[in-house]
A and B are shown apart, each in its own frame.
Chain A
Amino acid sequence: GDSVTQTEGPVTVSESESLIINCTYSATSIAYPNLFWYVRYPGEGLQLLLKVITAGQKGSSRGFEATYNKETTSFHLQKASVQESDSAVYYCALGENNYAQGLTFGLGTRVSVFP
């Protein structure tokens, strides 16, 4: 089946430092699945951070960006300068054309940003 592997947390960074969370994927029935990053802030549900549905494209939101690399089957999330408010759990996910079963998620990466 489909699978998503991402950086194992927890990850601790200082405010204004850069952050990268690695994500690689394997999709069984489609060459180019849709790719997503979701974020869960404390006490909240998961919310969409960004998505890319075309291989080779880059998505960006709230200072985060991720590029869909079909050669390396990767979708790493990066931010140049994090803030304390970026402390959250980040999930990489993929979805195939038939979304009936929803998305396949990675394990999540807990990020803590310290002032």
Chain B
Amino acid sequence: EAAVTQSPRNKVTVTGGNVTLSCRQTNSHNYMYWYRQDTGHGLRLIHYSYGAGNLQIGDVPDGYKATRTTQEDFFLLLELASPSQTSLYFCASRMETEVFFGKGTRLTVV
């Protein structure tokens, strides 16, 4: 079973703060994704990548940067966090037709 591990699981930061969410997958999948989950919106794609050093923009990229340092590691960066970025964030990796998700990071920006 593919494993996707996110850290931290919970994070509280202040407005204007700098936050990095981490994601590691252990199966060398090419594609990795960052989503946010909000009530009334479902899962929305922020950024994705198809390999180390690659970055693609998703549907809601504003205020977020991402970096794929290795095949395994994909980071989401919020350099000036805002309360509107309070959300549940999911990382995922994909192999063919199946997408594997991490357990999520709950971020609160106060």
Contacts and interface: CB of A to CB of B under 8 A. Distances in A.
Interface of A: 4, 34, 38, 43-48, 51, 53, 91, 95, 99-103, 105-108
Contacts of A46: 43, 90, 92, 101
Q: Label chain B's interface by main secondary structure.
A: strand
| Number of chain B interface residues as a range | 20 to 34
A89 to B, nearest CB: 9
Contacts of A38: 101
Given A4-B42, A100-B50, 17 more contacts: A38-B101, A45-B90, A45-B103, A46-B92, A48-B98, A95-B97, A99-B97, A100-B31, A101-B48, A101-B58, A102-B31, A102-B94, A105-B43, A107-B40, A107-B41, A108-B37, A108-B42
Interface in B40-62: 40-43, 45, 48, 50, 56, 58
